[in-house]
Amino acid sequence: MTTKSNLKRSVPCVAVFGSVVHNVMVAEIKMMKHAWENYKRHAWGSNELKPLSKQHHSSSLFGTIRGATIVDALDTLYIMGMHDEFKEAKEWVEKNLDFNVHAEVSVFEVNIRFVGGLLSAYYLSGEEVFRTKAVELGEKLLPAFNTPTGIPWALLNMKSGIGRNWPWASGGSSILAEFGTLHLEFMHLSQLSGNPVFAEKMMNIRKVLNRLDKPQGLYPNYLNPNSGQWGQHHVSVGGLGDSFYEYLLKAWLMSDKTDEEARKMYYDAVQAIETHLIRKSNGGLKYIAEWKGGLLEHKMGHLTCFAGGMFALGADGAPEESSSHHMELAAEIAQTCHESYVRSATKLGPEAFRFDGGVEAIATRQNEKYYILRPEVIETHMYMWRLTHDPKYRQWGWEAVQALEKTCRVASGYSGIRDVYSNQPIHDDVQQSFFLAETLKYLYLMFSDDDLLPLEHWIFNSEAHPLPIIRKDSQAIDNKID
């Protein structure tokens, strides 16, 4: 098992980086403590905290499954050395985490947060309860794949096993970023359970995708699970598309670079994205637009900003000596996303920013000005720091810490805000579980020694939960499938 040997404790290592770095890491641990303790005080056992109302926040994404913040936070608590908190979280999981629920859940959200969180907690700590719970939950998700094509439903009633798609999705389609963001966790479920069914479901999704014609080589966001045909030809590297591309690259890396099919799909997709979606503004900012049936909408989402980190992580394996090109692209996207932060009053970035109507990297619509504690910009800065060691990325990370402290920290936790351009922003009263799983973890990893969860050994799922690379010489999942 790939576990503690590759996980170096961070705090003793930071001495070599000097006291400034050490102080930042201490500040980040304090942020985690503030988020965790207030969740514990006011919302323990529920999914999320409402830090101003001091109540629990419930989201329909998880049906009646409880404890999203606990499961999402487990690995961050572990790597920050918050052992007492990790222990209490583990005890809650043992006694209370229950998947015998009647309500409908989002298969994607439950997978990235709960399955991913449990798998990471298992690989980091070696505690059996996390493995057992992850496999149990994975089994409960399997009925979602009972469609004519095997492309899973977005929503599943975990009791009845009946699935359906979001009513707003084009032509009853499943969503690319949802069914395309199961692969990493499901490969590990097969690895840990010895049951090939999880991996088989993933390879079938691949097969369906590879049979389809792609408009201009692009993957539309919508795919009908009954007919196996694309819905609307909308393409995005942000919401509805994003982590599908991320998981192609990471499937290849997590397979110890043996999954050549994933590698090809990733680099082909990036090439098409570069040709059809990536543009440069008059002011010289590279951005990734949205593609709607051949027409470009010159807007980039906060979610899309993860792509800088993805391009950087994929640079090494890029074909035909295009490695430095991928790295340049990564740096340009990181710069653009940083600009979306710099150009706001709060120094936090909006949900979406535009490159039209005379603006660059600025949100123009009121309903795109909010910030909900998302990680993607910080995620990219973390990868850029780890892969280039250019100090500007740590500087940008530190600026984000200061902005979060100034604007999002409230007496009882951290809250999103409704308008990043307002000097007196209104809080949205939600402490998202991904703030503890992702935002704080990526900030911490940006200042830690590189051998805390080294990128050569660990692959982060879409919710920042680290999963070990499945080594060529370990019991191969492929063999089990045969």
Residues of the shown chain interacting with ligand DMJ in the complex, contacts defined by CB under 6 A = 112, 243, 303, 374-375, 434, 438, 462-463
Query: b/e for 384-396, b at 16 or more Cβ within 10 A?
Result: bbbbeeeeebbeb
C-alpha–C-alpha distance, residues 73 and 57, integer Å:
16
Identify which of residues 35 and 112 has a Cβ nearer to ligand DMJ in the complex.
Answer: 112
Q: H helices of 431-476, where?
A: 433-434, 440-447
C-alpha–C-alpha distance, residues 374 and 401, integer Å:
13
Report, in Å, the least distance between residue 128 CB and ligand DMJ.
27
Please tell me which residue in 185, 332, 351, 360 is annotated as part of the active site: 351
3 state SS of 276: helix
Residue corresponding to tokens 């040709």: 275
Going by the DSSP 8-state scheme, the letter that residue 73 receives in this structure is H
Report, in Å, the least distance between residue 101 CB and ligand DMJ.
20
Identify which of residues 59 and 258 has a Cβ nearer to ligand DMJ in the complex.
Answer: 59
Our answer to whether residue 351 is catalytic in this structure is yes
Euclidean distance between the first and the last CA atom of the chain, given in angstroms as a whole number:
22
Report, in Å, the least distance between residue 116 CB and ligand DMJ.
10
Identify which of residues 48 and 259 has a Cβ nearer to ligand DMJ in the complex.
Answer: 48
Report, in Å, the least distance between residue 37 CB and ligand DMJ.
22
Identify which of residues 11 and 372 has a Cβ nearer to ligand DMJ in the complex.
Answer: 372
- C-alpha angle 185/190/194, rounded to 5°? 155
Report, in Å, the least distance between residue 344 CB and ligand DMJ.
17
Going by the DSSP 8-state scheme, the letter that residue 473 receives in this structure is T
For the CA atoms of the chain, what is the radius of gyration? Answer: 21
C-alpha–C-alpha distance, residues 173 and 153, integer Å:
9
392, two tokens: 């500007």
Identify which of residues 21 and 254 has a Cβ nearer to ligand DMJ in the complex.
Answer: 254
Report, in Å, the least distance between residue 416 CB and ligand DMJ.
11
3 state SS of 431: strand
Asked whether the beta carbons of 210 and 195 are under 8 A apart, the reply is no
Identify which of residues 13 and 372 has a Cβ nearer to ligand DMJ in the complex.
Answer: 372
- Active-site residues, by number, are 351
